[in-house]
Amino acid sequence: MSAAVCVFILTLSTLIGVVLGVLSSPTNVQVTSRNLNLILSWDPPAEAPNGLIYTTEFKSSIGLYNPGCINITTFQCELSNFSITSYGTYSGKVRALLGEEASPWVESKSITLDLETQISPPSVSLLPVSQTLEVSIKDPEFIISSLRNVYSKVSYNITYWKEGQENQAETLSNVHQDRVVLKKLDPSTKYCVQVRIVTLRNKSPIEPSGVLCERTSDTDNSPVVAAVVACVLIAVAVAVTTLAVVKWKSISHFLWPKVSLPLHFEKSLLTTPESSVCLITQPTEEIAPLSIITVEEGSPEGTKETSYSKQLHGTVGDNCLLSD
């Protein structure tokens, strides 16, 4: 069918709709996906009046239609904001609304997310290390899951070549590490690198990363530097150990010094009080009875005992001093 015939039919349909008072439907309705982000999009009707809004619905291959975006003015609806899974097959439909009028629904074709989603290229960075290039790879971020969770077998194809010699490019295939060192490169030479993600299930072509170029160093001096650093560290360790053994006595005196007291402090600590018991005894007051026995000549009894009491004032400590 020629383009002129298509334009005629579209114009005739629009005129019939206007004559019959039926609101025209959106066109080019489709569901697309990038990194598992499911989007229903459409074009507005020809000569769409002002104030037109849209309502959408979506469904899986085993379910009924569910409400999507309602009464919106944009021309797309992100269905990933609703309940969808990474392995589902989905389709959508949309209609236009103007006041009380509504256009007929227009349905899209279905899409299976994990098989048909477009996968973004990986992020790549290059780090020159002497006469090698270290390639670091980062997977694109997915909306409702991750690349490794959806696809169990993911690998990279790393292509590299000298700048200006792309026709002589070399490729490392089936690489599973996200850090790879490109060896056996020429010194002081600029190399360009491009990385592509490979999955077994996804049917859509995956875009490669952008081309990055970096220059290698002029000499391979990394082993020499490593050897010099190792020798310096060993020499420092031996010197420190030898010094510690030789000066151990001085070091031990410095770390654990002996503390000596003045001579008069030592003497006072070593001297034992003469009456230590008296010093720690609590002060008390006692009344001690005192008896005196006298012998008188010519007395029939022979002896005479006189008793009296005397109040002893003071503390036991005083009495201890008196006893001394």
* Predicted pLDDT of residue 302: 47
Report yes or no: 86 and 36 within 8 Å, Cβ to Cβ: yes
CA–CA separation, 42 and 76 (whole Å): 6
Question: Cα–Cα distance between 34 and 80 in angstroms, integer?
Answer: 11
* Close Cβ partners of 140 (under 8 Å, ≥ 6 residues apart): 35, 119, 120, 121, 122, 123, 147, 197
CA dist list (Å): 239 to 230, 234, 235, 243, 277: 14, 9, 6, 6, 61
Work out the angle at residue 112's Cα, subtended by the Cα atoms of residues 110 and 117, and round it to the nearest 5 degrees: 110
pLDDT at 219: 66
pLDDT at 274: 54
Give the pairing type, strands 66-67 and 101-102: unpaired
Q: What is the pLDDT of residue 19?
A: 40
CB atoms near residue 99 (< 10 Å): 10
The pLDDT, as a whole number, for residue 220 is 54
- Block mean pLDDT (10 aa), the chain, length 324: 45 45 90 96 91 96 94 96 93 96 96 95 94 95 92 95 94 95 94 95 91 85 62 81 74 65 64 52 49 50 47 44 42
What pLDDT shows up at residue 172? 96
Domains of the chain: 14-116 (2.60.40.10), 123-215 (2.60.40.10), 276-323 (no CATH)
Confidence at residue 215, expressed as pLDDT on a 0 to 100 scale: 94
pLDDT of residue 308: 45
